[in-house]
């Protein structure tokens, strides 16, 4: 269907559900504003910056991601069990959901289109190195690429490696440099 | 079900196409559909299955929120909340042509029962502590069962028959294969299983790649020493 036809169909459903008192237009507006403004990769970036500066927090984050992010008070859902996987010199992690498009909303926001499209979902489990190259990310041959297919209700986030030259920078500066794609695992952060 | 949604390992979809400075929602209707879904709540596994039942051509053509829209319409009709004729009539009044195709919708509905009860909070956790012990332990070698079910499952086809190692124990979780069909939560133990790329793709995979995936206990058999 074209966008205009889908827009009509969505409007038909919303008007009928509103008349039956099953949805509320003001609450729909609030939800949309919330996900547009408050839920996004800037939340995950806070977690990453903290982990880079605080070894105790990093250890807690890797041991129990859900408990560790609790103190940030993020909402937005899809982190009932968050598993954070760390990129190291020997391992590069990348996350996908081949069956639908599961994604840790509360820390990364709603997923980008490419994450939901067939090309990424079909290919990254079979040829992750080739897919990463299309993102400009070359993983050395002696580094294992670890793909995580989020097929149940566990959600995955990558803790990217910090470029050495960033050491000693403030939390806010570090957080501003952490990209969404580095937390999905399709990008490596560079100086 | 062996549907188009089960995309892992399929060939032919071409390059990944990232969009620079992508907005959260591209169209107003996408945001409305997303927010309606959240507000209505209900059984997430049934919602996923409603999307999987969309015909393959529409699944690919209608994009992510178009699939949500089709899945939502299906659920509302199958649950008796709205009738198909009142949706069609309302769309027509709003300007749809009478020959417009409806939202991408499954034509096959056998075996899909209404929920026993509606969950008020779609974002509530599906974790369910179990009294029973998990059948598998960390380090165990397991084989994903070769099963092809017509209903909902969260075991993608590309791991069928493959041998991997248990690397994570997650306790009990609502079992989607039952829950999606109105047969209760039927919680099962959930594991993370790691496969070498050779186990999945033979010699066709890339060098030095591993894949980890979350699989429920009924999907798995123990691999004994004779395997």
Residue A109, domain member (yes or no)? yes
Per-residue pLDDT at B193 exceeds 70: yes
Of B60, B158, B208, the CB nearest to A118: B60
Per-residue pLDDT at B226 exceeds 70: no
B91-121 confidence digits (pLDDT tens): 999 998 876 666 666 655 545 555 555 444 4
A152 and A70, same domain (yes or no): yes
Residue A190, domain member (yes or no)? no
A50 and A109, same domain (yes or no): yes
Mean pLDDT value across residues B159-181: 95
Instruction: Render each residue's pLDDT in chain A as its tens digit; 191 residues.
Output: 577 889 999 999 999 999 999 999 999 999 999 999 999 999 999 999 999 999 999 999 999 999 999 989 888 887 789 999 999 999 999 999 999 999 999 999 999 999 999 999 999 999 999 999 999 999 999 999 999 999 999 999 999 999 999 999 999 999 999 999 999 999 999 98
Q: What is the pLDDT of residue A78?
A: 76
A22 and A88, same domain (yes or no): no
Q: Which of B15, B18, B88, B156 to mutate to test the interface with A (most CBs of A within 10 A)?
A: B18
Q: What is the pLDDT of residue B121?
A: 42
A95 and A13, same domain (yes or no): no
Catalytic residue flag (residue A150):
no
Which residues of B are less than 8 Å from A151 in CB distance?
A: 154-156, 213-215
Q: Do B32 and A32 make contact, defined as CB atoms within 8 angstroms?
A: yes
Residue B99: half-sphere exposure toward Cβ, Cα within 13 Å: 0
Q: Number of folded domains in chain A?
A: 2
Residue A11, domain member (yes or no)? yes
Residue A191, domain member (yes or no)? no
Residue A143, domain member (yes or no)? yes
Residue A73, domain member (yes or no)? yes
Which residues of B are less than 8 Å from A36 in CB distance?
A: 24-25, 31
Strand partners, A82: A155
Per-residue pLDDT at B80 exceeds 70: yes
Residue A159, domain member (yes or no)? yes
What's A166's domain CATH number? 3.90.330.10
B36-61 confidence digits (pLDDT tens): 999 998 888 989 999 999 989 989 99
Mean pLDDT value across residues B172-199: 94
A146 and A177, same domain (yes or no): yes
Q: Do A23 and B24 make contact, defined as CB atoms within 8 angstroms?
A: no
Q: Which residue of A has its CA nearest to B216?
A: A152
Domains in chain B (CATH in brackets) are: 1-124 (1.10.472.20), 141-222 (2.30.30.50)
A90 and A144, same domain (yes or no): yes
Quote the minimal CA–CA distance from B101 to chain A in Å: 7
Of B10, B90, B213, the CB nearest to A12: B90
Catalytic residue flag (residue A33):
no
A110 and A180, same domain (yes or no): yes
Confidence band for B227, pLDDT divided at 50, 70 and 90:
low
Provide the residue range defining the domain that includes A22: 3-37
A95 and A27, same domain (yes or no): no
A104 and A25, same domain (yes or no): no
A19 and A57, same domain (yes or no): no
Residue A124, domain member (yes or no)? yes
A119 and A55, same domain (yes or no): yes
Catalytic residue flag (residue A75):
no
3-class secondary structure per residue, chain B: CCCCCCCCCCCCCCCCCCCCCCCCCCCHHHHHHHHHHHHHCCCHHHHHHHHHCCCHHHHHHCHHHHHHHHHHHHHHHHCCCCCHHHHHHHHHHCCCCCCCCCCCCCCCCCCCCCCCCCCCCCCCCCECCCCCCCCCCCCCEEEECCCCCCCCCCCCHHHCCCEEEEEEEEEEECCHHHHCCCCCCCCEEEEEEEEEHHHHHHHHCCCCEEEEEEEEHHHEEECCCCC
Quote the minimal CA–CA distance from B115 to chain A in Å: 17
Catalytic residue flag (residue A97):
yes
Q: Which residue of A has its CA nearest to B24?
A: A36
Per-residue pLDDT at B68 exceeds 90: yes
A97 and A15, same domain (yes or no): no
């Amino acid at each position: 269907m074209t966008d205009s036809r889908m827009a009509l169909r969505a409007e038909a459903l919303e008007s009928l559900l509103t008349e039956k008192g099953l949805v509320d237009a003001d609450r729909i507006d609030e939800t949309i504003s919330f996900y547009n403004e408050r839920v996004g990769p800037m939340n995950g970036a806070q977690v990453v910056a903290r982990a880079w500066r605080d070894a105790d927090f990093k250890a807690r984050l890797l041991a129990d991601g859900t408990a560790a992010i609790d103190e940030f008070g993020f909402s937005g859902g899809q982190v009932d069990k968050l598993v954070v996987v760390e990129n190291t010199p020997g391992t590069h992690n990348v996350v996908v959901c081949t069956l639908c498009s599961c994604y840790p909303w509360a820390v990364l926001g709603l997923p980008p289109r490419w994450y939901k499209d067939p090309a990424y979902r079909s290919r990254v489990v079979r040829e992750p190195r080739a897919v990463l190259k299309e993102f400009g990310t070359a993983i050395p041959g002696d580094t294992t690429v670890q793909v995580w297919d989020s097929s149940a209700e566990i959600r995955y986030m990558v803790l990217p490696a910090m470029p050495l030259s960033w050491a000693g920078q403030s939390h806010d500066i570090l957080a501003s440099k952490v990209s969404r794609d580095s937390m999905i695992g399709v990008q490596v952060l560079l100086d | 079900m062996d549907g188009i949604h089960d995309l892992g390992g399929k060939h032919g979809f071409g390059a990944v196409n990232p969009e620079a400075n992508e907005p959260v929602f591209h169209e107003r209707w996408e945001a409305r559909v997303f927010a309606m879904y959240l507000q209505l709540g209900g059984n997430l596994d049934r919602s996923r299955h409603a999307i999987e039942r969309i015909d393959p051509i529409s699944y690919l053509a209608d994009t992510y929120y178009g699939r949500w829209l089709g899945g939502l319409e299906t659920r509302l009709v199958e649950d008796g909340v709205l009738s198909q004729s009142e949706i069609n009539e309302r769309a027509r009044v709003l300007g749809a042509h009478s020959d417009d195709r409806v939202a991408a919708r499954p034509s096959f509905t056998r075996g899909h029962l209404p929920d026993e009860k509606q969950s008020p909070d779609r974002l509530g956790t599906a974790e369910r502590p179990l009294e029973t012990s998990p059948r598998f332990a960390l380090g165990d070698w397991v084989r994903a069962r070769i099963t092809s079910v017509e209903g909902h499952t969260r075991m993608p086809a590309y791991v069928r028959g493959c041998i991997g190692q248990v690397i994570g124990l997650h306790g009990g979780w609502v079992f989607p294969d039952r829950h999606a069909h109105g047969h209760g939560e039927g919680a099962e133990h959930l594991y993370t299983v790691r496969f070498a790329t050779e186990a999945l793709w033979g010699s066709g995979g890339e060098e030095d790649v591993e894949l980890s995936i979350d699989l429920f206990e009924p999907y798995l058999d123990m691999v004994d020493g004779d395997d």
